[in-house]
Each structure stands twice: as structure tokens, then as C-alpha cells.
Amino acid sequence: MPKLKALGHACFILSTDEHSVIFDPWLAENPEAACGPEEVEVDAVLVSHGHSDHLGDAIAISRRLGVPIIATFELAMYCERFGCRTVPLHIGGGRQFEFGHVKLTQAFHGSAIVNDDHIEYTGMPCGCLVTMDDRTVYYAGDTGLFSDMKLIGELNDLKAAILPIGDNFTMGPDDALRAAEMLEADLVVPMHYSAFEVIRQDPNLFAEKLRERGIACSILKPGQETEI
């Protein structure tokens, strides 16, 4: 069974015995991260959008390991400028890789890369469905609630849904609860709730409300993992 390990904020590693992928590796600049980017060993780097708490160390990891960044076309083209290997996909599109299958899903958010003196837009943000060992995980990315989550739940037998609960920039706990009901995943893993003061939430409250609705929840602190 695949394992899901939290590294902090919105960064996770999904792995089987042979393969692993990392989501949104914001590590060096995150004081709560479970490890540094130099310790990561993966087959691919998935990046949901260009914000710094998601693109993070993706370019550095991709370059050091020679593994591709999988992202939307525009964000992939941005990363190629820094000498990364990339696999551009786009929303609704999927592809089979040696480690498993990746399909990009919509997310309602921004995807700009903000530098000191300018903003560079890299198209739409995304979430993704990753299937390894025939088990599918939905990683929502940064997004507000949208009713097509119901469709995502109908089309996929989700073993886990990784959902933001921080509010302010993404869904808050109440909307994430509704998302969990629509997705009907076996397990919900909250993310994106601890790094900044404006997104501080108590994941235990969220977990309790899920359990009242008969939905399993696993709160993963940085460094913790669960089987999927």
C-alpha cells in the first residue's frame, strides 16, 4: 500500500516500495518542515501553482535529482528556464508515468510568481489525482470549494483526499467539510493550516466534525505518515 508522508504545510511525499513523488516542496523556507530539500529522494516533483509556499524548492530538487517537474504548461515553461526537466500537463489531462498515473484537476486560486519588483503569471493553478499501486489520492492544491468535487468523487474511487483548511487563501474548515462529503474519500488529510497566522486552524476540530459525519481523518504533523 502506498504511504503518504507529510513534510509540512502543503508538502507531502506519496511513495510505494519502488517509487515516490513529492507535492509542493516548500522546505528550506518553512521552519516547520520535516526535512530540507537536499534530503529528498523522489521520482518526480508535482507543483500545483507558482506561489512561493508551493513552488518552493521544486526547481532545486528537480535539478539535483534530474527528475521532472510535473505542472501545468505555463508553470512548466517557467521552470525550464532554470534548467529543469519538465512534463507539462494541463487541467483534465493525465499521463501514465513509471511511478504511477497523474491527472491534473481544476483549482480556484492564483498561480503568479511574485518577485521583488514584478509579478509573473503562470496560468491556472491545479490540483491532481495521483494513482500508485492502483490506489488514487486527490491532492486539491490551494483552492476554494467547487461543486465539481462531487464529480471528482464519482469518477474516482478515492483512497484519500488532501484538502486545505486554512481559510483566508483557500477553503476554510467548513467548506473543506463539504468538500470531503462530496469527494467520498476513505480518508481525509488536512493541509495548509499552520504556516502563517492568518491561516491558523485547529485540525482536531476539523477531524472531529468529519468523524461526526462518519468520515475518517488523519492529521499528519511534519514527519508523520500513514498508509493509503
Give residues in contact with Ni ion (CB under 5 A).
51, 142
Residue with C-alpha cell 483512497?
159
| Nearer to Ni ion among residue 51 and residue 103 (C-beta) | 51
Least CB distance to Mn ion at residue 119 (A): 16
Cα(19)–Cα(42) distance, integer angstroms: 7
Cα–chain center distance at 121: 20
Least CB distance to Ni ion at residue 2 (A): 25
| Nearer to Ni ion among residue 9 and residue 51 (C-beta) | 51
**Which residues contact residue 43 at a Cβ distance below 8 angstroms, ignoring those fewer than 6 apart?**
19, 20, 21, 67, 97, 98, 99
Residues in touch with Mn ion (CB under 5 A):
53, 142
| Nearer to Mn ion among residue 53 and residue 167 (C-beta) | 53
Least CB distance to Ni ion at residue 119 (A): 13
Least CB distance to Mn ion at residue 204 (A): 22
- DSSP symbol at 25: -
| Nearer to Mn ion among residue 95 and residue 196 (C-beta) | 196
Residue with C-alpha cell 485540525?
203
From Ni ion, Mn ion, none, interface partner of 57 (C-beta below 5 to 8 A by class) = none
Cα(193)–Cα(3) distance, integer angstroms: 21
From Ni ion, Mn ion, none, interface partner of 9 (C-beta below 5 to 8 A by class) = none
Cα(139)–Cα(136) distance, integer angstroms: 10
